[in-house]
Amino acid sequence: MPDADRATFWPAAPDWSRARIEGRGVTVTAAHGDRGVYLLSGPQDAVRALAATHISGVCACLLPIAPDRALMVTAPEVTLDEGWQDGVAVSQLSDAHVRIDVRGTAAEALLFRASPSLALAGDGPLASAAVAFAGVPVLVEKRPDGAKIHVELPLTPHVWHWLLAALSETEVHP
């Protein structure tokens, strides 16, 4: 296929500021760039200590990825310098992630369908926020009425279109 436009092989990304899917018992929205997102790497105690000084408010959390790594999500006004701080490597990733919020009375069934790991965890905390979701790696922040899914920007159109298809199937086949 000479001179094929490779961009046409993939679904287009929606405008994340207005992206919304409504399904029976589920609402899915997305946001990009409205929070601070930092990768923290180092000893667990040092990562937790550094995060504790920067996490405040309802939009902040620390998502464990591995024993020595976590994703810290903060309010947009919280800033953290990149580099080494108190034995922890800090990398700013705010532009590299999209947060997809899945909420509603049927959110749990949709989440379990996308990731059996979430079903296995039940109501308990995840040992690692990193799970396979719709076939790609994501970080999941569980909520009482659903979850916030942190997806790397290049993978987000796939996850979005998977959710769109899954909710369309639900509408057609209740």
Report the pLDDT value the prediction gives residue 173, as an integer from 0 to 100.
39
Condensed to tens digits (0 to 9), the pLDDT of residues 1-37 reads: 556 666 677 777 888 889 999 988 999 999 888 888 9
Residue 1 lies in a domain: no
Question: Does 13 map to a domain?
Answer: no
Report CA Rg, the chain. Answer: 17
**Residue 154 is assigned to a structural domain of this protein:** yes
**CB-facing half-sphere around the CA of 29: CA atoms within 13 A:** 7
| Domain-embedded: residue 2 | no
Q: Give the pLDDT confidence score for residue 91 in this predicted structure.
A: 94
pLDDT of res. 39: 93
Name the domain count of the chain. 1
Residues of the chain short of pLDDT 70, as ranges, are 1-7, 56-59, 120-127, 169-174
Tens of pLDDT, residue by residue over 59-68, are: 678 898 988 9
Whole-number Å distance between alpha carbons of 11 and 162: 11
Residue 114 lies in a domain: yes
Residue 1 CB burial class (10 angstroms; 0-12, 13-18, ≥19): exposed
pLDDT value of residue 53? 83
* pLDDT at 120 (0 to 100): 63
